[in-house]
Amino acid sequence: MAVAEPAVAALPAPRWQPRLPAESLRRLVARSRRADLVAASLFIIVTLLAIFGPLLAPHNPLAAGPNENLAPFHGSNLLGTDSIGRDVLSRVLYGIRTSWFSALVVILSGVVIGGLVGLIAGASGGWIDGLLMRTTDAFLALPGPIIAICVVAALGPSLRNTLIAVAIVWWPFYARIVRGEIKAISSRPHLEAAKLAGVGPIRRAFRHLLPGAVPAIVVTASLDVANLLVTLAGLSFLGLGSPEPAPELGAMAAQNLQYLLSDWWEPVMPALAIFLLAMAANVGGDGIRNLMRRS
């Protein structure tokens, strides 16, 4: 005797889900790409400001003006004057140039040194890879700011010595990133084809491996500018940067900190410039990262 199959309850019809039209989706993507381009262009804008900022400075940043000391915003001193009558705006514009190009110099040295170490380690493998990575780990284990302070204290406070000290502890991050990218690229089929074609190890490293790591290097460097700006400003704040009367943002904020409650523009304006530079670097780095992902 046949057993009747149980009735299956009818499933409810799926609700209608709105779908974004293709044209609207394309417009959204285009707007997002334009926003990323604008964000990435902040690097160019700040670089141009650092280059031409001294031309916009209304006064000599080192010379005391004829106006009274600690004068608030007025006339030709749009951001007021400091304790000896120097124009704060002019000193901030010169300080932006120093901070921005100092950060770029340290990052360039980190990319070159760390990139070379990571390339050799990733392409060679074996004991060379182990030796270079253990050396990199040793530098990463060191407290970077403290080592930088010790180096500057030994060499003497100056901008050059500060950059040398920070560069010593900044390259291991790039070595690790480049080494990881090179290891990932080494397993791809075109590398095996290059080996079978008889391409030498040096040409294979610089022609086939290194170009694949460039996007990761660019994104990391762009996002690293803000960290380096704050680090250099902190060392300058501690008196390890250019000595007085050089216009350096961190040093300016530290020297005028005593006027915070009375003549607040003295320490606040250099600190605000550091904040805006770091913010522009962060936003620009995000824009570059998003553009790299879409390419």
Quickly tell me which residue has 């007021």 as its tokens.
80
d(CA 133, CA 123): 13
Please state the separation of Cα 238 from the chain's center in Å: 22
CB atoms within 10 A of CB 121: 25
| pLDDT of res. 175 | 92
233-240: long-range contacts, CB 8 A cutoff, minimum separation 24? 233/99, 233/274, 234/145, 235/145, 235/148, 235/149, 235/152, 235/162, 235/165, 235/166, 236/162, 238/149, 239/157, 240/148, 240/149, 240/152, 240/153, 240/157, 240/162
141-148: long-range contacts, CB 8 A cutoff, minimum separation 24? 142/169, 144/169, 144/170, 144/231, 145/231, 145/234, 145/235, 148/231, 148/235, 148/240
**Structure tokens belonging to residue 13:** 């019809």
| pLDDT of res. 25 | 60
SS3 state of residue 247: coil
Q: Are 131 and 90 in contact (CB under 8 A)?
A: no
Quickly tell me which residue has 């607040």 as its tokens.
264
Over the stretch 209-252, which tens digit does the pLDDT of each residue have?
888 888 888 888 888 888 888 888 888 888 887 777 788 888 88
Annotate 249-292 with DSSP letters as a single string. Answer: HHHHHHHTGGGTTTSTHHHHHHHHHHHHHHHHHHHHHHHHHHHH
Question: What pTM, to 2 d.p., does this model score?
Answer: 0.81
Domain 33-50+84-294 has CATH 2.60.40.10: no
**What are the phi and psi torsion angles at 81 (to 5°)?**
-125, 160
How big is the CA angle at 250 (ends 247 and 254), to the nearest 5 degrees?
100
Report the sign of the C-alpha dihedral through residues 77, 79, 83, 86, in that order: negative
Quickly tell me which residue has 């990571």 as its tokens.
118
Per-residue pLDDT of the chain (295 residues; tens, 9 = 90+): 455 555 545 555 555 455 556 666 666 666 777 777 888 888 889 889 889 988 888 888 877 765 566 667 676 777 777 777 788 888 889 989 989 999 999 999 999 999 999 989 888 888 888 899 999 988 888 777 788 788 878 887 788 888 888 888 889 989 999 998 888 887 777 777 777 776 777 777 787 788 888 888 888 888 888 888 888 888 888 888 777 778 888 888 888 788 777 778 788 888 899 999 989 888 888 888 887 777 6
| pLDDT of res. 1 | 47
| pLDDT of res. 24 | 65
Quickly tell me which residue has 């480049």 as its tokens.
178
| pLDDT of res. 186 | 78
